[in-house]
Amino acid sequence: MMIGGHEDKEHRRTILREIARHVGGGKLVIATVASHEPEGYFKRYKAAFDGLGVGDLCEVYLEDRTEALDERKLHAFDNAAGVFFTGGDQLRITSQIGNTPIERRVCDIYLRGGLIAGTSAGASVMSETMLTTGRGRESYRIGDIGLAPGLGLIDGVIIDQHFAERGRIGRLLGALAQNPRLLGIGIDEDTAIVVQGDTFGVIGSGAVYVLDAAGVTRSNIAEQEEDRVMSIYDMRMHVLASGHSFRLDTRRPSEISSTTP
Amino acid sequence: MMIGGHEDKEHRRTILREIARHVGGGKLVIATVASHEPEGYFKRYKAAFDGLGVGDLCEVYLEDRTEALDERKLHAFDNAAGVFFTGGDQLRITSQIGNTPIERRVCDIYLRGGLIAGTSAGASVMSETMLTTGRGRESYRIGDIGLAPGLGLIDGVIIDQHFAERGRIGRLLGALAQNPRLLGIGIDEDTAIVVQGDTFGVIGSGAVYVLDAAGVTRSNIAEQEEDRVMSIYDMRMHVLASGHSFRLDTRRPSEISSTTP
């Protein structure tokens, strides 16, 4: 589950409720690795999940990469039904846990059907390649993009978050122009996609933007001048609100008859 | 010519230079009608056009609608080679000059080949239907849109300005979902489209976004719940930088061999 950041923690808690539902009465690991200053994060989520029926909540934070080898840290993942990556800096997540036993524990949980969720930076890291920098709210220039390898839990997509709020369509378009193989998914705040198999559904109060570059007929992204403004022809876009779903294999949207309870 | 606002007035002045080129050595009327407090606007543009070869610059401002019948105000348009609408509130332009002799003078100048330019609010008013309200930087809700009749100098399009800077893609998508007949054109700051016949070219330092809803297969814009987040499938988008052009009749982009000098 990828969340666009700022999920509601006090009122309807639609997204946290969905996380709790997936975890059942099981254990949820809150991984605050993305944060430089994790103080208060765990406490806030502990309060936010209160009453939603999660059996056990525990925090995993790493001061540095060597801690990713620490047996006690690894034990936190024992019998976990889910892992939730909170926000911060996506490079902190990948540089701290990439190719460590902790990453393998996360993958194991995922492969045996557990829930892997992430918000903001925690959402971006799910893909093979992730956006790390790129200014919002201005004309997109060829050299603006910053990409890095992600955790690779989901193939063929690139995810951006705080999407409408930070005016990020330019940077996602730029990433797709580089390689139209990837599907671009921009997620608004308090909004999430729940991926199951080849399909994702949308939940939350905002929208999800799917950018499909398969039909793009031209772009100038391979030009050498970094300061040149991007141009790109024939991008396809879908805007999906709660209750809509999208098939990643056929790249087609549809409406779910009833929204997730 | 429609400008996305904040055109450069001090350095390269690409857009103002293009206005001056169209006007030749002739007279340019600076219409500051959109502004509630026009003080300083004209002075700033007078300085900005300095040295660009405009023969004569004069200001037209209206305190209220009755002044649009004032003979002296009308004389300002005599022999004008162009009219430039500055920024402010688009409803001030249309409510002050709509269906008045001043509007007819502007149309006359346009029909006999003169230049009609506008920046920000002055760009929005050019179309039949114009966007007046609609929040940027958040998920777009069905009831967010505010539209009003524009001056109607250009058919079949709806224009938005400060586009990347104010994260306005949601509101333009919303307007198009209402009627896919219209073509959506979002213009970044310091960027302009120059319409000649059925084609426009892009100039300036940012990008122009063309949204073509012809292929849209579904949207929820006709639903009654105003607070519902918009969903829309299969929107086509082009991003055009300086040096690109777009044919309004065939709705196809292309690259101009050399940019406008």
- HSE value, Cβ hemisphere, 13 Å, CA-based, for B96: 23
Question: Tokens in use for B125?
Answer: 């008013």
Residues of A belonging to the active site: 120, 138, 162
A165: nearest CB among B138, B241, B255 = B138
Query: Does residue B122 register a pLDDT over 50?
Result: yes
Q: What is the mean pLDDT of chain B?
A: 94
Q: Are A82 and A26 spatial neighbours (Cβ–Cβ below 8 Å)?
A: yes
Q: Does B245 touch chain A (CB under 8 A)?
A: no
Question: Tokens in use for B239?
Answer: 């991003």
> Residue B16 corresponds to which amino acid?
L
Query: Does residue B260 register a pLDDT over 60?
Result: no
In chain A, residues with a C-beta closer than 8 Å to the C-beta of B188 are: 138-139
Burial class (CB within 10 angstroms; exposed 0-12, middle 13-18, buried 19+) of B125: buried
Nearest to B248 by CA among B218, B219, B225, B214: B214
Q: Please state, for a pLDDT cut of 70, what percent of chain B lies above it.
A: 98
pLDDT, tens only, A29-74: 999 999 988 788 999 999 999 999 999 999 999 999 999 988 889 9
Write b or e for each residue in A113-145: b if 16 or more Cβ atoms lie within 10 A of its Cβ, otherwise e.
ebbbbbbbbbbbbbbebbbbebbbbbbbbbebb
The pLDDT value given to residue B259:
45
Closest approach of B201 to chain A, Cα-based (Å): 13
Closest approach of B165 to chain A, Cα-based (Å): 4
The pTM is what?
Answer: 0.93
Beta strand pairing status for B2-3 and A207-212? unpaired
Active site residue B223: no
The pLDDT value given to residue A107:
96
pLDDT band for position A259 (cuts 50, 70, 90): very low
Catalytic one among B18, B22, B103, B162? B162
Angle, in degrees to the nearest 10, between helices B90-97 and B101-111: 100
In chain A, residues with a C-beta closer than 8 Å to the C-beta of B138 are: 164-165, 188, 206
Give Cβ neighbours of residue A152 (< 8 Å, ≥ 6 apart).
A127, A128
Catalytic one among B95, B138, B223, B225? B138
Whether A164 and B207 lie within 8 Å, measured CB to CB: no
- If one counts every other C-beta atom within 10 angstroms of the C-beta of residue B180, the result is 17
A139: nearest CB among B164, B235, B253 = B164
- Residue listed under structure tokens 């808690």: A13
Q: Which sign does the torsion angle of CA A256, B177, B234, A6 carry?
A: negative
pLDDT, tens only, A103-123: 999 999 999 999 999 999 999
In chain A, residues with a C-beta closer than 8 Å to the C-beta of B136 are: 167
Nearest to A42 by CA among A56, A58, A26: A58
Report DSSP letters for A199-260, one per residue: EEEEEESSEEEEEE-TT--EE-TTSS-TTSBP-EEEEEEEEEETTEEEETTTTEEEE-SS--
Active site residue B75: no
Whether B241 and A231 lie within 8 Å, measured CB to CB: yes
Q: Which sign does the torsion angle of CA B154, B203, B188, B46 carry?
A: negative
- Torsion-angle region of residue B152: left (phi > 0), alpha (psi -120 to 50) or beta? left
pLDDT, tens only, B62-84: 999 999 988 889 999 999 999 99
